[in-house]
Structure 1
């Protein structure tokens, strides 16, 4: 039975909620607006017009930054003609993994950012962020993307140095003053509920995250993900296009297989190129009641695509963590928990509730009616993609985005001691055999990769690796016509300069750990500023130009050496017989529960230790690079 807390009591306690005004209501609650002309949902025939238009401007901006970087390397040919005649599209993909992934990803991002002190020095990678076209994140990686973009595309040094965000010294869920910490998020969520929208734990999780990630009053309660289009950095093409990903969980589904439908969110649209959906809804108008893509009774909504809510949807695995921690708390925790329990749906804890479903009754010519199950559902249920594939590869593999290279930063905790084991690569490899777009122009390919056991045996999780170097050794699915996929530059988390294998569920980081993780991420991206390999900067340049070289037949002795050093070469005879199956990687809910319990038992001990630390033990010195 649900615990009932009278709403008038909650409202008296909370008072009036005040927020920055981006939603029409000026609060977390979505509000009514006039509808635009035309449909709000479109079949996924191609990239949306808004993205295509933006790409034209961005490509003009990235060229000089890319040439500047290439000219700082020791590459043995003039890359100018190759860059000018063939657009080089660079993408960065940041894995999930909680604060660990966010902070390690932040260090890597700082290494690629020419604004970071020292990043333009010899053997460094500064300028590659400015030369990139896409940046994708999920779960903890989505926290990084959200924080950077909704703080005006600030540098990592600016974010950490501001002391306005990323104050991780207190537990994210249960800080020193939990009542003050939770009243705001609960009040924000009540605003949404009073506006007639059902709540889930994801709403509360998003409000808590926003307070840590976004430097606005109340964490920007009225800030929408589509508001990215209003920032100068977007309109002047000064930043990559951000993408966050999540999975659909159909009603009644307990097991999340690797072939689950992957949704993506850009500043323009939410949707999927997967054949089960193959459609996109205008992000700004989520929350509007639609039938067949058109507003019902001509009424539309803005503000449903709250920045924190979208970010929390991509990390909804933490909903269960949140509830478990509050349940274990003492008397004051029970009060807070009762408030949460009163306003949010406590079933299907890891689901973000997108009601109304924008794809309701959408007659999609790309999806046969018998497969178009989403069109019959009033609710679109989305969850953390990290429950299946923990790096957001899928949006970047779409041939229409013409991505040449993906820098994949894997900060997963796959092994017993919280290091990656490459399963995200194997899952993505196997997914291509089960999931393909209904349109030939969107067929995807992914290079051969070793399964996790061999991955570890070959110690590929301890150093950067290039996958997909040999165009002839990349599988072509029968019946598809996909071009060469991007080269994958895989950079796994290792303790190159700091023991960085913290639990995904650690929600409090003293400054020494925060700085240690960011610095480690920087060193992972630069291979210790070239101390592990003085050729690394030039080999990165070769990797960036690899697909252009493949297209033109250009050769380079220096690059050939780099490819010998960093490319993983599969034995085709070994892999051509692999079954073309979907890697289910099934995890039952009760098994997840045991995993969380064990993780929190371990975390509680760490938390007690960290809570006893004197502030003098926390070194406030920030590494010079960021």
Structure 2
């Protein structure tokens, strides 16, 4: 691999290989039939090179089937190619039985050598599968690919097919031409030949140039519903077919004529031509911050420097790298989180600290506050008490209108329009419309990208909204989760170093290119996505309530084991993925697994990684390794690059916090002011984040709590790892009621008459702030505002000390850097 900065993408030389796979035989296969021997066949699946599975013939009634069938595949040298060989027992009248699947990394096959592999399927019965592999370079197939070290974007080409259409009267019946290029963005397209439109029509297919794909063309009669009712013929009757191998065509060949017999008239003429596609990608590949965020930070830096000098009463100005980066982190918690974040931001404003903040990250309910505030480009420069009063009106009003017949009709109309705009309407979108109804006056036309206006001069902190990409079904959140961040500039998946413009979220991408532009969704739809409190599956619910994953591991997790033999291990230089055997669970377990993992009310988004592939050395990339935390990371074929859609859910279903975006090294965050709006476990998210970051090698302070600290919670915790200055200082403010019971303001005791005002119930079953309550009384709302502001103001000195520590570290680090540069220059 080229030695380059992990923050950029680059060009890499690549080759195409011809892979030959010879399925020879299997031995001692017992199968699932009790009264007969199995009827075996083998399927080959290689998603990085094949659009469909290939299949051997079926050998009937044999425990030792012999196939000796050979398959030829074209693979890419820089892509992680994992071949899956599955053994099936064919049944007549019922679904075939899937017995085993072997997952084999083709990096194990040396170039220009023949390798025989014997895969042990069952040690007890000595069941084995014998397969032979051969890999050779295709001459004159040297290419370049675009990559960031984790993702690879091969060359894309566009196939233009121009069809000469016949006059309407030339056909006795309606006739259409069906064109298919498997593996292309378009897949299939149809042209009605007997229409009154122009005499020529052109369609385009976009597909990977290196795939050995083909175009199939068929001429079909099209019947009306009346014809089908009174005819014995099928609905689409094929008149003729032809197939064109596209691997034989190059962009320099010019137009190629293809004729398709039309029976009733002269042969149908088609002219096909291959064109290169522009190399410029619409998906940004790289782990660095985008240019717009860098520009914002340079402007925000001066605002922060002035605010810190004033707050800390410094004599000298802070300049350049001396200026610490301060971030606010807010957890989820429905209307409780939404209300409390208003209050905390107002408290920061009153203290003169709001202008010291560069980032605000939120999850779930706290994102509802953020998205509302950023409708005003000058929100942090205005008195936030007015925003609190507006929020109060919405939180305390009745929500019955949200569920009225009139509103339900409105929701239906909006979802229909969203479908026309290219969205995939779901319950998540309906929930977003309901949030809009509960906490907004009328229809909100704003979009996330509109918030760029609030960042143009660095006048406000940069908002970051956090979600998680999960599997829609069959996989628990514990086994698969990927952080997805939203900013007014970009939407990105942290693990892959891939981002798109926020304006393009919801549009369709293929191989890094924007293929079909859809309108950016209104902000309410994103609010439903970020704060969807209904998208848990049963396994997630079990984990959140017990913090134990043994139930999943014991009962329904797939049976997977390493079956590499010593000879494979010795030559595994180009591959890192072990050869694994997957044994499907029984019928009962599959049903039970489906019940536990299904997310019936989740929504799906277009996957902007579609058509990209994992680099053969993706596992070596430092940034990928940082965010690799899912069991599926060892199965490249099951990762997001090969998924049609993203399934984005509330980040709180793993850790109810929004720390991950703030821990990206490029953001250089020194202090995180953490606002935790959890009722019963106010320190859980800190402990979970600490465990997660320790496992992933991400800088985060140690969280070690005594039993006494677990029982009696403080208003603020200072988590500071003196031994690791790469870890930010975290000031954690849980939602607790401690000294507020006796003090109405810091240092001001309550009178006996005022003691009742300090009785704010933020624990227990009967708290008015429980998660699914979206309507508070005015008294409960006011008490929550006063409590959260008090807790913040009462710990002003802790915040001051942390800021001074961050400034001191920054200055020391800057001085060390300057000293090293001076010594280097002197040596030179």
Shared fold per TM-score greater than 0.5 = yes
Partner of 2:476: 255
- 1:81 deviates by 4.7
Please give the secondary structure, in 1, of the residue aligned with 2:613: coil
Partner of 2:355: 130
Q: How many residues align?
A: 433
- Aligned counterparts of 1:100 and 1:260: Cα–Cα separation in 2: 26
- Aligned counterparts of 1:258 and 1:148: Cα–Cα separation in 2: 35
The two structures have a TM-score, normalised by structure 2, of: 0.49
The partner residue of 1:167 within 394, 398, 421 is 394
CA contact (8 A) 1:270 1:280 kept: yes
More strand by share: 2
- 1:452 deviates by 9.0
Partner of 1:352: 603
The partner residue of 1:518 within 785, 793, 810 is 785
More helix by share: 1
- 1:549 deviates by 1.6
CA contact (8 A) 2:415 2:429 kept: yes
1:70-219 aligned within 5 A? 70-71=312-313, 78=314, 80-81=316-317, 86-113=322-349, 119=350, 125=351, 127-152=352-377, 154=379, 155-162=383-390, 166-172=393-399, 174-175=400-401, 178-215=404-441, 217-219=442-444
Partner of 1:315: 531
- 1:553 deviates by 5.2
| Residues 121-171 of structure 1 deviation map (CA, whole Å, 9 limit, x = unaligned) | xxxx2x2112210011101111111121124454532223347x8512345
- 1:45 deviates by 2.5
- Aligned counterparts of 2:708 and 2:644: Cα–Cα separation in 1: 44
Partner of 1:590: none
Change (3 A) 1:392 1:176: closer
CA contact (8 A) 2:330 2:674 kept: yes
The partner residue of 2:456 within 229, 235, 246 is 235
CA contact (8 A) 2:472 2:602 kept: no
Change (3 A) 1:246 1:176: closer
Change (3 A) 1:92 1:545: same
- 1:83 deviates by 5.9
- Aligned counterparts of 1:67 and 1:462: Cα–Cα separation in 2: 29
CA contact (8 A) 1:94 1:408 kept: yes
- Structure index of larger Rg: 2
CA contact (8 A) 2:322 2:810 kept: no
The partner residue of 2:801 within 508, 518, 542 is 542
Please give the secondary structure, in 2, of the residue aligned with 1:407: strand
Change (3 A) 1:455 1:381: farther
Q: Unaligned 5+ residue runs, structure 2? A: 1-277, 538-597, 620-632, 741-757, 764-768, 814-828
- Aligned counterparts of 2:434 and 2:325: Cα–Cα separation in 1: 35
Partner of 1:292: 511
CA contact (8 A) 1:43 1:364 kept: no
Partner of 2:667: 401
| Residues 265-321 of structure 1 deviation map (CA, whole Å, 9 limit, x = unaligned) | 0111111222xx33212221122221121023xx422313x2112222111124679
CA contact (8 A) 2:607 2:644 kept: yes
- Aligned counterparts of 1:452 and 1:371: Cα–Cα separation in 2: 41
| Residues 63-100 of structure 1 deviation map (CA, whole Å, 9 limit, x = unaligned) | 112222222xxxxxx46355666011110011111111
- Aligned counterparts of 2:799 and 2:403: Cα–Cα separation in 1: 47
**Alignment RMSD:** 2.9
- Aligned counterparts of 1:515 and 1:227: Cα–Cα separation in 2: 31
Change (3 A) 1:453 1:247: farther
- Aligned counterparts of 1:313 and 1:177: Cα–Cα separation in 2: 20
Change (3 A) 1:153 1:81: closer
Q: Unaligned 5+ residue runs, structure 1? A: 1-35, 72-77, 114-118, 120-124, 322-346, 437-443, 475-482, 528-535, 555-626
Q: Are 2:283 and 1:41 aligned?
A: yes
The partner residue of 1:449 within 686, 703, 724 is 703
Q: Which structure has the higher relative contact order (CA within 8 Å, separation 6+)?
A: 1
Change (3 A) 1:348 1:170: farther
1:438-517 aligned within 5 A? 444-450=698-704, 455-457=709-711, 459=712, 461-468=713-720, 470-472=721-723, 474=724, 484-495=726-737, 496=740, 497=758, 498-501=760-763, 502-517=769-784
- Aligned counterparts of 1:446 and 1:46: Cα–Cα separation in 2: 20
